[in-house]
Amino acid sequence: MSSIEDLDYPQLILQYNSGFLVSKVMFTACELGVFDLLLETGEAMSSDTIAACLGTSSTGMERLLDACVGLKLLAVELTQEGVFYRNTEISNIYLTKSSPKSQYHIIMYYSNSVYLCWHYLTDAVREGRNQYERAFGVSSNDPFGAMYRSEEEMMKFMAGQNSVWSICGRDVLAAFDLSTFTQIYDLGGGGGALAQECVSLYPNSRITIYDLPKVVQVAKKQFIPPEEHRIAFHSGDFFNDSIPEAELYILSKILHDWDDDKCRQLLTKVYTACKPGGGVLLVESLLNEDKSGPLETQLYSMNMLVQTEGKERTSAEYSKLLEAAGFGDIQVKRTGKLYDAVLGRKE
Ligand SMILES: C[S@@+](CC[C@H](N)C(=O)[O-])C[C@H]1O[C@@H](n2cnc3c(N)ncnc32)[C@H](O)[C@@H]1O
């Protein structure tokens, strides 16, 4: 809502105009390793020392550090010896690579992939399609083919997707009591961070990560510790290959990648495979029913436009897709964080 002050001086518009500058400052400080260095040394450092350690110009580093202070990602101390910078608590926890709650990998994915696709947002809106061709010169007909244009890009995507579950995983898995389901398939389970949360929250569960062969290969080798025997793997294409029988299927951030036809096709296969009395757990960021928000989800939906074939949906839209596939007794839980949970049952 605009107030008189907004009309006199457009604070909000100016803030939005600089929105991407804010993102880019955080991306750059992460990419250069500013927060990692300050965590490692454990003491406040001068701009010149940070620049020397990270191999950057002094003038560029000083400006970057000052902008990070403005964003509350760094704190500054003025002493007789000069100006010294240190991490704020939030940066230590979320922006350093080694922290258990690190968001570093998703930030790097935004900086190196999402940002480039968003450069073509106007084209995406005009054409109603993803922008891989313009951004990376790769065919945009198969979004995951484009996303996984090299093994390095695939690893970065998987690490990025994993990041969010250290801050939201428990909430989506505890939204419903899933302890009665012991045989679980995580369809499109990727790097497996949610599967790891699942076996830690429900120690009696056995979960199989089902994903494309090259994803499974990397998940097995790089992401899931070999001693984690409660997690198994299944290589397959959930549109073209069979889906094995299980009690519960988790589809986390899967349906938002696809249009309604593909979602119905996939959910129907899941319903057919599901044991009677079993269910499906959708983990998605839910739009308000009138699509008035949350803003983060509206922005994610734009991101689905520039990167995939899908969109974010309301809980009523997900319920309709589930019902069309045969699922009933649909329950919705909003977690208040980025991702929510929808549970459907097979009678
Ligand atoms: C947006 S990511 C979500 C990853 C994970 N579920 C999470 O929540 O972090 C979508 C996942 O679906 C997988 N995927 C895409 N198409 C697939 C297909 N046809 N068959 C199996 N998995 C697929 C991708 O490899 C990727 O791991």
pLDDT tens, residue by residue, 12-50: 999 999 999 999 999 999 999 999 999 999 999 999 999
Secondary structure of residue 101 in the 3-state scheme: coil
The structural domains of the chain, ordered by start, are: 4-94 (1.10.10.10), 159-345 (3.40.50.150)
The greatest distance separating any two alpha carbons of the chain, rounded to the nearest whole angstrom, comes to 73
Neighbours of 192 (CB within 10 A): 28
The ligand 1 atom nearest the CA atom of 239: 19
pLDDT tens sequence across 188-232: 999 999 999 999 999 999 999 999 999 999 999 999 999 999 999
pLDDT band for 2, please (50, 70, 90 cuts).
low
Q: Atom 27 of ligand 1 has which residue's CA nearest to it?
A: 190
Picking from 111, 55, 50, the residue whose alpha carbon sits closest to that of residue 76 is: 50
The pLDDT tens digits of the residues spanning 297-315 come to 999 999 999 999 999 999 9
Q: Is the CB of 257 under 6 A from ligand 1?
A: yes
pTM recorded for the entire structure: 0.97
Quick one: average pLDDT of 104-126?
98
Q: How remote is the CA of residue 298 from the centroid of ligand 1, in Å? A: 21
256 counts as catalytic: yes
d(CA 283, CA 202): 17
Q: What is the pLDDT of residue 284?
A: 98
Q: Whose CA is nearest to atom 20 of ligand 1?
A: 237
Residue whose CA is at the smallest distance from ligand 1 atom 11? 188
Q: Residue length, the chain?
A: 347
Tell me the best of 153, 253, 259 to mutate to test the pocket of ligand 1, counting ligand atoms within 8 Å of each CB and taking the most: 253
Nearest-10 crossing angle of helices 47-54, 34-41? 110
Q: What is the pLDDT of residues 233-257, one digit of tens each?
A: 999 999 999 999 999 999 999 999 9
Q: Tell me what pLDDT residue 4 has.
A: 55
Which secondary-structure segment (H or E) carries 184? strand 183-187
Please report the pLDDT score of residue 10 as a whole number.
94
User: Could you tell me the pLDDT band of residue 79, with boundaries at 50, 70 and 90?
Assistant: very high
- Residue 144 banded pLDDT, cuts 50, 70, 90: very high
Residue with tokens 């809106």: 125
How far, in Å, is the centroid of ligand 1 from the Cα of 75? 39
Tokens found for residue 71:
């964003």
CB 190 near ligand 1, within 6 Å: yes
Gap between the Cα atoms of 41 and 50, Å rounded:
10
Which of 254, 269, 312 to mutate to test ligand 1, by most ligand atoms within 8 A of the CB atom?
254
| Residue 140 confidence (pLDDT) | 83
Ligand 1 center from residue 54 Cα (angstroms): 35
Question: Averaged over 277-297, what is the pLDDT?
Answer: 98
Report the share of the chain in percent with pLDDT over 70. 99
